[in-house]
Every structure is written in C-alpha cells, then in structure tokens.
Amino acid sequence: MRLIRCQGKRMVDSMKTTLDIPEKRLQSLMKSGKFSSKKEAVNTAIEAYLRNKRKEALLQAAGTEEDFMSCHDLGKLRND
C-alpha cells in the first residue's frame, strides 16, 4: 500500500516495507552519520548510493560529446 502524505506544500510518496538489514551494519551506519532514526539512516544511504550512481554515469559520459571543448582546448583559451 502506498502512502501519500502532505508535509507543508510538498507531497511525500512513500511505501512501507520490511527489510532484513544486519543489525551491526545498521548500527555502524547510524553511529557514523549520527542519525536519530533507522529510517533517516536508510533513506540517507539510499540517496548517497543513487547520487554516486549518477556521478558514475556522468563520468562515463565525460569526453564523449564532440561539441564540448577538451581540457587541453580550454587551457589554451585561458592562457591566451
């Protein structure tokens, strides 16, 4: 069942689920991030993972577009 809640002007779409997460790993995550709840720790870890995947995709695409300047070309412009 999906829950949609209002928080101020923003709608939050969330879904309750049960996860089997090793307790030591979760406790380590909570201590390292000083999180106040397990939910906050897990959500932050998911966001960090997704952010890293987006960065990896950008790095894979770096230098593949012919219309952009290379670092060498940009350096030449800066020195002129």
Q: What is the pLDDT of residues 36-77, one digit of tens each?
A: 999 999 999 999 999 999 999 988 877 677 777 778 888 888
- Structure-token match 């412009």, residue found: 77
In angstroms, the first-to-last Cα distance of the chain is: 62
pLDDT digits (tens, 9 = 90+) for 9-36: 566 678 888 999 999 999 999 999 989 9
Residues 31 and 58: their CA atoms lie apart, in Å, by 31
In the prediction, which pLDDT does 40 show? Answer: 94
**Residue that wins the pLDDT comparison between 80 and 52:** 52
In the prediction, which pLDDT does 15 show? Answer: 82
Q: What are the domain boundaries of the chain? A: 30-63
**Residue that wins the pLDDT comparison between 55 and 80:** 55
Residues 75 and 28: their CA atoms lie apart, in Å, by 44
